[in-house]
Amino acid sequence: MPRRTDGEYLAFVRGRVTALRRAAYLLCGDSHGADDIVQETLTKLYSRWSRVSHVENLDAYVNTMLVRVFLDERRRGWWKVALLDWLPERATTPPPVEERSVVHTALMGLPPRQRAVVVLRYLCDQPVKEVAHILGCSEGTVKSQASNALDRLRLVFDELPDAVTVQDRR
Amino acid sequence: MTDDDRAVRILRTMPDDPPLPSTVDVERTMAEGRRRRRVRRWSGGVALVAVTAVAAGGGTVAASALRDTPAAPVKPVTVPSKKAPAKVAPVVPKDCKVTLLPSGEVKKALVTAGDPTGRYHAGRVYPRPGGVHTVVWKDGELLPVPNMPGSDAGFRDINSSGIAVGYSYVGDEERAYALAGGTVRRLAGGRAVAGAINDRGVIAGTLGGAFDGGTPVIWKSYRAEPTRLALPSGITRGSAAAIGEDGTVIGAIYRNTRDEGIPYLWRPDGIGRKLAVPKGATGFWVSSISNGWLYGSAVHDAPDGSMRSFTSYRYSIAANRYEKLAVQLSNDALGAENGWVLSTIADPVILAGKRIVKLPRYNKMKEYQVTAFSADGKTAAGYTTDSTDNEVVANRPLKWTCR
């Protein structure tokens, strides 16, 4: 008998899909991509559900899985190739670039690993030690990546009047 | 830097909800999760059996479930043993054994590549949380080799002379390295990734970023300057990821930054062409090259993009012909020269013609990635990815040897 039930899974997931989509969207910058990452993370979680009862901090566990899915997909993406010159369109197209915020665009301008550091450290409020664990690098690397990322973001943000910050808040 | 930093404050104003409504399907996570559990249960119990393959067709999976896509369960049937004629390779691998490769005091380690002879394996160990150290094994023993500099270092391939190639990061920039003669040296060409090396010492890789394509190149040796591989007219970005013993290079070309990439083949004389697609498929993902064959998965996308399914194929470069494999494998299929294919159907398996030989588990662990297959099909390597109560991902480096 599973030590965690389907009912507990549903209760856990339904309360967190929004936050997981948010984190995935910050990482990959694309609604559909974010949903794919969350879908795969939750599928993995469910397939292990009966075995995770000893995990004390389930949220941290799931966040780690989510970031690993994102980075694995990016890494594997190098191998993943489609033949056609087009990609299937989804039912709804994303908003045009100009409707996206300056902050969003700046974040997406960071390379994937730097972006993961920024998202985990500043937007998911994970401590440096935890970020290092999730990303498989040293705490020093996390600090230097965060510092480099913020330097790059400052180049963009320093051009912004403070008012833009407010406009970005939708 | 503090949390009061203006850049951090501005970041935190970011409207962070995805603009489109959610398509996350919780019911489907449970259905797919159950299916993965079932497949694991099917694979439980027996240490090693030969099974009669049942054509599994394309296992339909959610578009998101790009990894771990095992076939529908097939019924295990013991195949009567037949005495192989002298000097003829056995029809299926036999007497397969699993061994844990040594990783010093460190438990968490994995194998990332192997050479055609099956004697050399490359990998990495995690001496402390967040730390990574690249390693090489010869005949199952750790060699005293220097670590690759940089963070998140990993070898992508190793040849029969024990020359390993791979890359690491400095900040967010990739740097390509080769380990040769007991020395780790950086490959020429600036920011680069090295993807593969053949027994002639020719290295295939990409200048620029690893993820979105750059300039596909070969290095004729680890000391050589990179030689650019020609891209078709109008294309500016590509990547080179694998190289055959004859110098054929497999990679991809990219039309734009959001492109998944179009698989591309450069002949040993440098002439390139797009790869054909299996009939009825929307794409083909190559996972390995061996003896003139490519192994991989045909991709089938639903017209509305809501579903993506896969079918395992191999492709003859000379004949420009696809052959469907007898069963659906994961997207990590590695071919041997005799046509055997190493992959995972939850457990690690070798597909020999129409027969599946399941490789033994290590320590009752249930989740595996395979990363190396010798040219004769008798040595395989990979690692576990189980979650345990103590570890989110419990990696253990493994080698399987068969007769």
Per-domain residue ranges of chain A: 1-79, 99-170
On the 0-12 / 13-18 / 19+ scale of CB atoms within 10 A, B12 is middle
| CATH number belonging to domain A1-79 | 1.10.1740.10
Is A115 in a helix, a strand, or coil?
Answer: helix
How much is the average pLDDT of B42-60?
Answer: 28
Residue numbers in chain A where pLDDT is lower than 50: 1-2, 76-99, 163-170
pLDDT band at residue B353, thresholds of 50, 70 and 90? very high
∠ at Cα B340 (B336, B342), nearest 5°? 80
How much is the average pLDDT of B37-54?
Answer: 36
- On the CB side of B348, CA atoms within 13 Å amount to 29
Question: Does residue B195 surpass a pLDDT of 50?
Answer: yes
Name the least confident of A70-74, B24-28, B205-209, B248-252. A70-74
Instruction: Report DSSP letters for B322-388, one per residue.
Output: EEE-SS---TT-EE-TTS-EEEEESEEEEEETTEEEEPPPSTT---EEEEEE-TTS-EEEEEE-B--
With beta carbons under 8 A apart, name residues in chain B contacting A49. 33
Better-scored residue on pLDDT, A123 or B208? B208
Determine the pLDDT at residue B389.
Answer: 66
Better-scored residue on pLDDT, B262 or B221? B221
pLDDT band at residue B212, thresholds of 50, 70 and 90? low
ipTM of the complex: 0.75
- All domains of chain B in start order, with CATH: 25-80+98-401 (2.130.10.150)
Question: Edge-to-edge, what's the strand order for the sheet holding B141-142?
Answer: B109-114, B120-125, B133-138, B141-142
Is B84 in a helix, a strand, or coil?
Answer: coil
B 306-365 near A (Cβ less than 8 A): 306
Which chain B residue lies closest to A43 (C-alpha atoms)?
B29
CA distance, residue A109 to nearest chain B CA (Å): 12
Q: Does B239 touch chain A (CB under 8 A)?
A: yes
**Interface test with chain A among B1, B9, B12, B20, by most A beta carbons within 10 Å:** B20
How much is the average pLDDT of B243-263?
Answer: 85
Residues B360 and B59 sit within 8 Å (Cβ to Cβ): no
Which one is the CATH code of A99-170: 1.10.10.10, 3.30.70.2390, 3.40.50.2300, 1.20.1250.20?
Answer: 1.10.10.10
Residues B314 and B298 sit within 8 Å (Cβ to Cβ): no
Which chain B residue lies closest to A135 (C-alpha atoms)?
B130
Name the least confident of A153-162, B80-89, B299-308. B80-89
- With CB atoms and an 8 Å threshold, state whether A25 touches B211: no
pLDDT band at residue B61, thresholds of 50, 70 and 90? very low
Sequence letter at residue B318:
A
